[in-house]
Structure 1
Amino acid sequence: MSALARYQPLYTVNDYMQWKGDWELWAGHPVSMSPSPFGRHQAILTKIASLLVNAVENANCAATVIAEIDWVVDPTTVVRPDVLVVCGESPERHVEQAPALTVEVISATSIERDRIYKRELYRDKGVGNYLIVDHEKRTIILHRQSNRWAEETIEQILDLTICEDCRLSIDLSRIFQ
């Protein structure tokens, strides 16, 4: 066994906060973020964020929609979802509570991360709802916390309850137009 294989340092959020560039920290291991997403990815992300902001405002919810912000999951894990919704006001620095809704727009370089690692992380850390948007296949999958982590395909209307009593109904069919 090489010295490199035996020495695999684990990092903390404090280490992470000192790094330059775009990184996530998964259970103490640094993970380089993909290069800046292409225009179509960002356009879909913007549409989703806009639809969520409008839905939260129309429902008069005590919730905040935020794009591209760090969620400090625990002392050794930091992820940066594409969009998330937190109950209450926007945090001063980064999110420290489990989001009510997390959205990832997958790309060729993030499919495995988003569909496997982040899905399991979000389930295990109490994210209420996890939306995976695949712009190539034009599909939207919702993972919802209930008695278990339930998966459903969203064809058009996304109905969900966040932050205990905030009911949202969002027409997601427009995001691929």
Structure 2
Amino acid sequence: MSARSARQATTGLPLPTEVDRLVRVPFDFEDYLALPEWHRAEYVDGMAIVSPSPVAAHQRISHRVVDVIQAGCPGLFVLAAVGVWTGERRSRIPDAYATERSFEGSWSDQTPVLVVEILSPSTRREDTLRKSTEYADAGIGQYWIVDRDHRTLTVLGNTGHGWDTLLDLDDSTPRGSVAVGDHGVVAIDLATLLAT
């Protein structure tokens, strides 16, 4: 039995490939809580949402984002691909996020100061439409959206009634900075962030 087959047998969830779209599977919440820590399934309203594993370029960008945020906000605890609860029975796994305090395990019990999603073909709609609302409703302070295909980075600030754009970078305006509350200022060079 391959490692992939073993993981599917252990969790009962389908394992999409890099080219697949998100897979939504009706799933009991208690069974979701009992999944092994290494699973990549989010949970929203009775559905486990299984996403493909990020490709190498996606992961490199994620690590650079973590480094840039940590450099600008050294007092924050910044991680890649760790789970966050966005509601009573809603969990998401952003590509990166920052909290005020460190924690143990695969899931944070804190409301993040900011979350980052790096768009990919399989997650674009989920990240820009569904997660945007969930993150705002959860009280997350900033939502960073990195679009590899269109070479953009947008930083949104939570107003309590939705999002305001704090920073927009693209190839014509590749450098900028954004204050992350009173935690510090993050300087961003889009070309460096997206370098292959």
Q: Which runs of 4 or more aligned residues in structure 1 lie more than 3 Å from their structure 2 counterparts after TM superposition?
A: 8-11
Q: How does 1:79-158 map to 2 (within 5 A)?
A: 79-88=92-101, 90-93=102-105, 94-146=107-159, 148=161, 149-151=163-165, 152-154=167-169, 155=173, 156-158=175-177
Q: 1:32 to 1:78 in 2, by over 3 A?
A: same
Aligned mates of 2:158, 2:143 — CA distance in 1? 9
Equivalenced residue count is 161
The one-letter amino acid paired with 2:177 is L
- 1:41 matched to 2:58? The reply is yes
Q: Does 1:23 align with 2:36?
A: no
Q: List alignment gaps of at least 5 residues for structure 2.
A: 1-24
Give distance in 1, aligned partners of 2:159 and 2:189.
22
Q: Structure 2 length as normaliser, TM-score?
A: 0.74
Give 2:21's aligned residue.
none
List runs of 5+ in structure 1 lacking aligned partners: 1-7
Alpha-carbon contact 1:11-1:76 (below 8 Å) kept: no
**C-alpha deviations, 1:57-105, integer Å up to 9, x for none?**
2xxx2x20011111123331111111000012x1122212221110001
Which of 150, 157, 170 is residue 187 of structure 2 equivalent to?
170
Contact 2:87 / 2:138 at 8 angstroms: preserved in 1? no
- Is the contact between residue 70 and residue 80 of structure 1 (CA under 8 Å) also seen in structure 2? yes
Deviation digits for residues 144-166 of structure 1, max 9, x if unmatched? 1136421352342131233xx21
Q: What is the DSSP-based 3-state SS (H/G/I as helix, E as strand, rest coil) of the residue aligned with 1:166?
A: coil
Alpha-carbon RMSD across the aligned residues, in angstroms, is 2.0
Rounded Cα–Cα distance in structure 1 between residues aligned with 2:177 and 2:119: 18
Contact 2:73 2:185 in 1 (8 A): yes
- Work out whether 1:64 is the aligned partner of 2:77: yes
Aligned 8 A contact 1:73 1:97 in 2: no
